Amino acid sequence: DIQMTQSPSSLSASVGDRVTITCRASQSIRSDLSWYQQRPGTAPKLLIFSASSLQSGVPSRFSGSGSGTDFTLTISSLQPEDFATYYCQQSYTNPETFGQGTRVEIK
């Protein structure tokens, strides 16, 4: 199985900060990577697919980049509703695997 490793596992940031989360795959996954946001007690929400495509309805402060093994999710100006856990997920091969998550907390 392809291992997905996110860093950091958690971070503290303030409203308005620029936040970057990285995701590394154990082998090349081309651009077959998605990012999800999960607020406590709720289902995950798709933010980014195909590494850099913004899902419909998602604010433009979210962006994704990368290909091969290294990927990045960036939030350009953190908003109060962005405090959540973020997961990357590869869809290159079965079984599709997720990163362990990055918890974004209020500083």
Of 22, 72, 74, 100, the one binding other proteins (CB under 8 A) is 100
17 lies in the binding site for other proteins (CB under 8 A): no
| Amino acid, res. 103 | R
Distance CA 32, CA 18 (A): 25
79 lies in the binding site for other proteins (CB under 8 A): no
Which residues touch 78 (CB under 8 Å, ≥6 apart)? 13, 14, 15, 16, 17, 18, 19, 104
97 lies in the binding site for other proteins (CB under 8 A): yes
For other proteins, the binding residues (CB under 8 A) are: 34, 36, 38, 42-46, 49-50, 55, 87, 89, 91, 94-101
